[in-house]
Amino acid sequence: MRKIFISAVLSVVLSVVLISVVTTGVVSAEDLPAPPEPNKFQSPIAEVQAAERIDAVGSSFQLTNSQYLHISLYSSLPIKLVLESVPEMITMRIESISQEVSAEITLAGLAPLMTYHKYEDDYHNHLEFTSDDIGKFTYTQDLSQSHLIFIQPRPSTIYLKDTGWSNPAVGTGTR
């Protein structure tokens, strides 16, 4: 929706510029429409999402402007990383920039001694872990392909399998 609106605004601006050039041959600043007021067309949610994201290549990353957790990520190898920290979720898109197939990843800035739930690529690939006493967690990350990792403070999905629910608190199923 936002992209369509921005595209429409740009079309109007370009039309005004083109008409000015065709009719007068010269475009001056007075011919252009006034720029929108800051954040007039941008929702507060978009501002927060943009501020809580890193998209970079390297081996050391720090996200310090999050309203959720200020996360640092350290990789034993340079990687391409998109890192976001929004309430109740940390997301990471990790890609190799070399031929290496794995790297050791350390996350810092987690709550100390707290249980988290790490999912990789989908909700079926789940790992429950507890951060250490200073809020760190280290694991080996597969780099043979791009991965989407998301970390949450509680489990997200309950599955019904042949053996019953993945969360025993849900109850029992009968056939």
**Residue pair 94/79 in contact by the 8 Å Cβ criterion:** yes
Selected residue with higher pLDDT from 56 and 29: 56
Average pLDDT over residues 85-91: 93
pLDDT tens digits along 40-83: 444 444 344 455 799 999 999 999 888 889 999 999 999 999 99
Beta bridge pairs of residue 83: 54, 92
Q: What's the pLDDT score for residue 129?
A: 98
pLDDT tens digits along 105-120: 999 999 999 999 999 9
Kindly report the average pLDDT of the chain as a whole number: 78
Structure tokens at 134: 């200073």
Q: What's the pLDDT score for residue 141?
A: 98
Task: Using the predicted structure, report yes or no on whether residue 19 has a pLDDT greater than 50.
Answer: no
Q: What's the pLDDT score for residue 22?
A: 42
Helix, strand, coil tally for the chain in percent (to 5): 20, 40, 35
Task: Using the predicted structure, report yes or no on whether residue 160 has a pLDDT greater than 90.
Answer: no
How many residues comprise the chain?
A: 175
Distance in angstroms (rounded) separating the CA atoms of residues 175 and 167: 18
Sole residue written with tokens 């991965």: 147
Closest CA to 151 of 94, 99, 96: 94
CATH 2.60.220 fits 52-152, yes or no: yes
**Residue pair 95/83 in contact by the 8 Å Cβ criterion:** no
Selected residue with higher pLDDT from 135 and 172: 135
Selected residue with higher pLDDT from 118 and 24: 118
> Residue ranges of the domains in the chain?
2-27, 52-152
Distance in angstroms (rounded) separating the CA atoms of residues 56 and 79: 8
Task: Using the predicted structure, report yes or no on whether residue 98 has a pLDDT greater than 70.
Answer: yes
**Residue pair 107/72 in contact by the 8 Å Cβ criterion:** yes
Q: What's the pLDDT score for residue 16?
A: 42
Q: What's the pLDDT score for residue 173?
A: 56
Task: Using the predicted structure, report yes or no on whether residue 156 has a pLDDT greater than 60.
Answer: yes
Average pLDDT over residues 139-157: 94
Through-space distance between the first and last CA atoms of the chain, rounded to whole angstroms: 45
**Residue pair 130/151 in contact by the 8 Å Cβ criterion:** no
